[in-house]
Amino acid sequence: MAVLLFSFYKLHFDIRLYEYIMNPKMKSMLAHLTPVGWLIALVLNSVNKDSLTSFYLRQTLGLFICFFLSWYIPDYFIIVWGVLFVLWTYSFVGTVKTIEHEIPFIGALFQKWFSRIS
């Protein structure tokens, strides 16, 4: 009986620790790091959905696609990457502040195009 109570307490503690660590802010920050981090954040958000993570999943997916497409612009590659890095930094700062900042110029399009990610 004591073992059963201990295992239940440990499970309850692990779930609360998970909820404390993987709050919307942390999931949004994870989505910004790499495309693999984006996938992990997408899976975590599918279990426990929140609007902040969904918002930044759409923003970072658009940025990752732009980063990928910029490889095909050979003459202006460095300039495009510099601009995209500034936009990525702007988005990441919004994540740290827990404010839904749309990326200038293209953020509204990303929200519209990837509206199925929620």
Give me the tens of pLDDT residue by residue for the chain, a chain 118 residues long. Answer: 444 444 444 444 445 555 656 788 889 999 999 999 999 899 888 888 889 999 999 999 999 999 999 888 888 888 888 999 999 999 999 999 988 889 988 989 998 998 888 7
Separation of alpha carbons 58 and 72, rounded Å:
22
Task: Kindly report whether the global pTM for this prediction surpasses the value 0.75.
Answer: yes
Cα separation of 85 and 78, whole Å? 10
* Length of the chain, in residues: 118
> Residue holding tokens 């307490």?
9
Q: Are 96 and 44 in contact (CB under 8 A)?
A: no
The span from the CA of 96 to the CA of 94, in Å, is 5
Are 87 and 60 a contacting pair, CB within 8 Å? no
